[in-house]
Structure 1
Amino acid sequence: MRQAKLWVLILLIFLLFPEGKAWAQKTLVFVSILPQKYFVHKIGGDLVDVQVMVMPGASPATYEPRPKQMVMLRQARAYFAIGVPFERVWLKKFAGLNPKLLIVHTDAGIEKRHMEQIEGILNSVSDNHQEHRVEHHHDRTGMKDPHIWLSPRLVKIQAENIFKGLVAVDPIHSAEYKRNFNRFCKSIEELEKKIKEILEPSKLNSRKFMVFHPSWGYFARDFGLKQVPIEVEGREPGVRVLQKLVQLAKREGIKVVFVQKQFSAKSAQVIAKAVGGQVVSLDPLAYDWEDNLLRVAKVLRRGLGTGD
């Protein structure tokens, strides 16, 4: 009798899951950076197993996958790319490793901005031709800003691309993915509203903030701010450039210099000391994306605010 009941149960499983997929099995997918894991979890929920390629503390510009990650990629159903530099080399290798892997470009449909040009910023402080020659080369590179995950508006586009990718590899759960996608879009809109209230122009003394690496350009554009980068082509600035940045910080009343753990804080500390300010760490690669952006907005408010 027990054996007969067991066979009935097995038959029901095959009828309910014609592809042989048990309910406990998750769809294995990869993402490039930690914030994407947050996005995919918001849409995929418990139906997906999300693996992150760039480990915490590493840079998406220079990352090289670990052997264990390459082994897991053989079993993955989808890879959600976002346009960070290391993908230029590795996406083709991932596809060659797993021909069935669906590569979803979550930045599809997004027009990327150019990275901040330090030349134009420093022109307002000095007209030293020799020093600007380095910055002009930076301008000619036409480097596009990959940090699209720091804009709530652009994350809604990425979320739609993620939703479509999940449906493509797991159509049986499309209705659940759709519900989660709609819920996530609403929470993004609520987040935008909260940040706009925090960064209300009347509550700020300045709209400019200084960062070592220009990660926050899309965030700044969304909320009417302007970031001032310290680095020159990814490197610490020279003494003359540093002096001009100090002059700029004093003129603009910038008292807080923001850094991230993936880059050096040396020059930021020099500038902060010269203007009687402080260095504050912000992490553009934090997992809890919504809480992280709220924290960034509050930190900016304290650094730029009127004190009201």
Structure 2
Amino acid sequence: MKNAYLTLFLTALLASGCTSGSRPTDKEHLYVSILPLRSIVGQIVGDDFRVDVLVPAGASPESFEPSPRQYVALNRSKLIFNVGLIDFEQNLLRDFPDRQKLVNLSRGIRLLEGSCSHGHTHEHRHGPVGKSDGHSAAASAHGIDPHIWTSPRALRQMAVNAYEALHASFPDSIRYTKNYEKLLVRLDSLDTACTAALRQADVRTIVIYHPALTYYAADYGLEQLAVEHDGKEPSARHLARLIERARAKKVKRIFYQAQYPSSSVEVIAEDIGARSVRIDPLREDVIENIGEITRQLTARNE
């Protein structure tokens, strides 16, 4: 697999080499791996760059494979921003020839273990893993949860990482610094609003089909209960236990994502008198998305 990615990249690059210099572009390009990252990077650079996304809207990072044209575009782009924790990113960028272009936005974030099938399962050296000492990602049965962009506090560090890379490449841009400072204010306001809303509503538990809110839950002291079990459809026994716990916790909303079945969620919601709510963790406007998830989580049943 490793050599196949490199071969595909070189083939595509050679195929386009004869004409690449003769086609001017209106704007230089930056690349991000998933849509939520474009929201962060775009708010810093404004209209100076075209920010392209590897995984298009509606596609799943789990099954995504880049086209040869995307390989060529990545080579021409100024910088490539990635989460650094998703399998397809690892496969794609492992043999990328210009390592200086790669910006790993998970740097400095305390990584947590999770049960996500699309997470990276190798050892990480970014910092502590999970809540207990002495447990590396390699020792975990499930590896690292990659959904760092669903937490306002992790997003803040991702913004720091993005800005530092941009500032290093374009040190004379005062506008990027001003945009970055405005972005930090928005993220801090989001964090404050989430904290206040969760405290006022006395929410302590999140029930979700696929556990995409691990970092959100950890940052706000919440318990996340996943409907799926070890990345698979839940058994009747698992559902029964989950229903019992959700009822005891007085859960009012149960989240599910479009790419996962809603049937199990609807069974739980009906049994405990809650509402099933569809969310999209890969939505581009990440700040508004986290705000909406918080509003749903803290809303009363109508």
TM-score normalised by the chain length of structure 1: 0.76
Farther-moved stretch of structure 1 (41-50 vs 190-199): 190-199
Q: 1:222 and 2:223 equivalent?
A: no
Q: How does 1:97-246 map to 2 (within 5 A)?
A: 99=98, 102-115=101-114, 140-173=140-173, 175-200=174-199, 202-204=200-202, 206-246=203-243
Alpha-carbon distance in 2 for matches of 1:75, 1:191: 35
Which structure carries more helix by proportion?
1
**Runs of 4+ deviating beyond 6 Å:** none
Question: How far 1:169 moved relative to its partner?
Answer: 3.3
Q: Is the 8 A contact 2:246 2:272 kept in 1?
A: yes
1:35-85 CA distances to partner (integer Å, 9 max, x unpaired)? 100000111111121111111122223321133322322311111111222
CA distance in 2, matches of 1:155, 1:27: 25
> What is residue 284 of structure 2 aligned with on the other side?
287
Q: What TM-score do the two structures reach when normalised by structure 2? A: 0.78
* In 1: Cα distance, 2:151 partner to 2:253 partner: 21
Task: For 2:206 and 2:156, locate their aligned partners in 1 and report how far apart those are by CA, in whole Å.
Answer: 25
- Bigger Cα Rg: 1
How many matched pairs?
255
Residue number in structure 2 paired with 1:249: 246
Q: Following the alignment from structure 2 to structure 1, what is the Cα–Cα distance between the partners of residues 263 and 198? A: 28
What's the offset of the Cα at 1:142? 4.4
Matched, 1:89 2:80: no
TM superposition shift of 1:140: 4.3
Q: What's the offset of the Cα at 1:149?
A: 0.8
Q: CA deviation at 1:100?
A: 7.3
CA contact (8 A) 1:116 1:229 kept: no
For structure 1, the residue ranges without an aligned partner over 5 or more in a row are 1-23, 118-138
Whether the aligned pair in 1 keeps the contact of 2:113 and 2:140 (CA below 8 Å) is: no
C-alpha change, 1:100 and 1:227, in structure 2 (3 Å) is closer
State the secondary structure of the residue aligned to 1:38: helix
Q: Secondary structure at the match of 2:57?
A: coil
For structure 2, the 5+ residue unaligned runs are 1-24, 117-138
| Alpha carbons 2:115, 2:231 under 8 Å: kept | no
| Number of the residue aligned with 2:4 | none
Question: Partners in 2 of 1:90 and 1:190 — Cα distance?
Answer: 35
Give CA deviations for 1:181-215 in whole Å, capped at 9, x if unaligned.
Answer: 11111111111112222222x432x4112101111
**Partner residue, 2:64:** 63
RMSD: 2.3
Summarize the Cα distance change of 1:167–1:230 in structure 2 as closer, same or farther, 3 Å threshold.
Answer: same
| Aligned-partner residue type, residue 203 of structure 1 | A
Identical aligned residues as a percent: 31
